[in-house]
Amino acid sequence: MNPDVIASQPTYGIVASEEKRRAILTECLNVMSGLWRERQVLTPRPDLISMMANGEGTHDLLDRPIELLGDVILMIVGGNDTTRNSISGGLWAMHNYPDQWQKLREPKDLISSFAPETIRWQSPVMHMRRRALVQRG
């Protein structure tokens, strides 16, 4: 599913109508519901859907489809944007700092720290709304 469908309106040009948007979201919910049922097993796999499908506070989300769809949307949007931003930020850094690229390539022991260091250096979250509650100074 295109993550842009979630907040789209027909006037945005992503979906032709509200009915089409609902159909896409319903299909997304149906696919996730199938995965959820598949992962509700005695011995869960070590993945996010299995953990949620068997978790104490989330195992019954099939009974609350709007909440399940909301969680799916959060996973799609959050995983999509942050992963894309981290990868492009890391590539941009290696392009602009060829000496660091060379360090990363030669002794292979730095590769395991590349992803966390990229996330630390170049935040994958592009915008976070904040409101000052107290004025200082």
Q: Could you read off the pLDDT of 12-71 as tens digits, one per residue? A: 778 888 898 889 899 999 999 999 999 998 788 899 899 999 999 999 999 999 999 989
* Total count of domains within the chain: 1
**Does the residue 127 lie in any domain?**
no
CA–CA separation, 62 vs 52, rounded Å? 11
Residue 133 lies in a domain: no
* pTM value > 0.85: no
In terms of residue numbers, what domain contains 67?
A: 3-121
Is 131 within a domain? no
Predicted confidence (pLDDT) per residue in 21-35, tens digit: 889 899 999 999 999
Structure tokens at 20: 């089409």
Query: How far, in Å, CA of 22 to CA of 130, rounded?
Result: 31
Answer whether residue 126 is part of any domain.
no
